[in-house]
Structure formats: structure tokens, C-alpha cells
Amino acid sequence: MSYLEIKSLSAYYGKAQALSDISLSVEKGEIIAIVGANGAGKSTLLDSIMGLVRQTGQIDFDGSVISGKSTSNIVKSGIGYAPERFNLFPYMSVKDNLLVGAFTAKADTAANLSQVYSLFPRLAERETQETATQSGGERQMVSLGRALMTSPNLLLVDEPTIGLAPKVCQEIAVSLRRMRDDFGLTVVITEQNANFAMTLAERIYVLEAGKMQVEGTVEDLRKDNRLIEAYFGT
């Protein structure tokens, strides 16, 4: 059994179906990317894993069924989530926003905080700054850091590079890779930026209008010219 396994997941907003019959599996220690355009269902897929959307199908994580559990129990089972809309507290400091993430944490808050500061030295330098006055990249770092404060083994990140300059995207890529290489996390990101996805991830899933279209290793996808043209531009 895979570390994270999604079987025949469908998701609904009222009567509207946003995802149909999605299957996906992630092995421990992988970095995978779910690539898709606006409205493809990327956020819905991550929200579904967190138990935030009405759904059918089954999701297993680390040997247990998590679909049907409450979001707080899903977090306790070891999944951290950095959502698309960060929802940081604008008039609270960087440090206090990070501590909000530690509210349900089982592990040592001080150790988690120093892990976050080692990944993002810029946050350590600015721990008293209000997030309202931070740049977009810095806020993304606070959002990622807050997710790490719950001591996750699997981290879900919705569009880590949205609206960020190429240099900042690279910084985020380096930190995501370090989370896996140095801290042993498994990482699932979503992206519209296929190039970023292909430089960071080992495997890619392509989501289109709520359906999973293609799945493969980055190596395999690079060899398929028609696929590259269809989904990734030239």
C-alpha cells in the first residue's frame, strides 16, 4: 500500500461535481506535483484530502483510512496543509502566526520553530514583523512554516509559486526540497507553472476539468512531445 492513496475520489459543491473518479498514490519520501489550469480542481483535491469538501471514494494515509475523519484528526494523523489563500493574521507578528500553527501540535514547539527558522532564515530575522507588511514571498514562507508547526510527515502545498518572482520561486523550491531531504517529509504540491513542477517534482499528475488525465515520472513526460505541447506549452 502506498503512503497516501486516493481511490475513486469525487468531490461536490452542492450539486456541482468538481472532481470525478480521481485516483492517485504517493510513496513515502516522494515529491509529486499536481498540474492543472485555473478551475481544474487542484485546491478541491487538496481540500478533499483535508476533509474540507463533500466527497465520495476513499483516502488512506500511512496505513489508515482518513476519509470521513475530521480535519483536526487528519492534521493529527500527520498531514500539514499550506492552502492557496494563506489566511494569515495580518496584524500579528510572523512568530505569532507560526505559533497559531502549533496550537494542535503534538511535538516540541521550540524545536519546530527552530526548524522553520533554519529553512527560512528571513523569517527569523523578521519574527516581530506584522505579516501585513511582508512581501508575497515572505508570506508564502510564513504559510509553509505554519504548516510545519504541526509536525507533519506529509506536507500539502497549494500553488507555492503563485504571484512570485522567479528568484523567489527558486528559494521556495530549495526549501521544499530541503524539507524532504533534510527533514524526511513527503511533499505534494499543486502548480499551474508546469516548468516549476518539473524541476521540483519526481512525478506529475495532470488534472483537467476535475479529471486526472496523465500521470508519469518527469523523465517519461519529457520524452512525450505531444504531451508537452498539449499540457505544458512548447
Ligand X SMILES: Nc1ncnc2c1ncn2[C@@H]1O[C@H](COP(=O)(O)OP(=O)(O)OP(=O)(O)O)[C@@H](O)[C@H]1O
Residues interacting with ligand X, by CB under 6 A? 13, 16, 18, 36, 38-44, 84, 192
Q: Output 102 or 207, the one with its CB closest to ligand X.
A: 207
Q: Output 35 or 113, the one with its CB closest to Mg ion.
A: 35
| Least CB distance to ligand X at residue 10 (A) | 12
| Least CB distance to Mg ion at residue 55 (A) | 16
191: DSSP letter? E
Residue of minimal CB distance from Mg ion? 43
Report the alpha-carbon distance of residue 50 to residue 43 in Å, rounded.
11
* 208 interface partner picked from Mg ion, ligand X, none, CB below 5 to 8 A per type: none
The answer to whether the CB of 144 falls within 8 A of the CB of 160 is yes
96: contact with Mg ion by CB under 5 A: no
* 134 interface partner picked from ligand X, Mg ion, none, CB below 5 to 8 A per type: none
Q: How far is CA 229 from CA 36, 89, 206, 225, in A?
A: 14, 41, 13, 6
Q: Which helix (H) or strand (E) holds 23?
A: strand 16-26
> Could you give the residue ranges of the DSSP H alpha helices within the chain?
42-49, 71-76, 94-101, 109-119, 121-125, 136-148, 166-181, 194-200, 218-223, 225-232
43: contact with Mg ion by CB under 5 A: yes
84: contact with Mg ion by CB under 5 A: yes
The end-to-end CA distance of the chain, in Å, is 36
| Least CB distance to ligand X at residue 30 (A) | 21
The answer to whether the CB of 154 falls within 8 A of the CB of 78 is yes
| Least CB distance to ligand X at residue 168 (A) | 19
Q: Which stretch binds Mg ion (CB under 5 A): 17-25, 34-42, 50-58, 74-82?
A: 34-42
* 186 interface partner picked from Mg ion, ligand X, none, CB below 5 to 8 A per type: none
Q: Going by C-beta distance under 8 Å and a sequence separation of 6 or more, which residues neighbour residue 229?
A: none
Report the alpha-carbon distance of residue 100 to residue 192 in Å, rounded.
29
Q: Output 11 or 88, the one with its CB closest to ligand X.
A: 11
| Least CB distance to Mg ion at residue 30 (A) | 21
Binding site for Mg ion (CB under 5 A): 42-43, 84
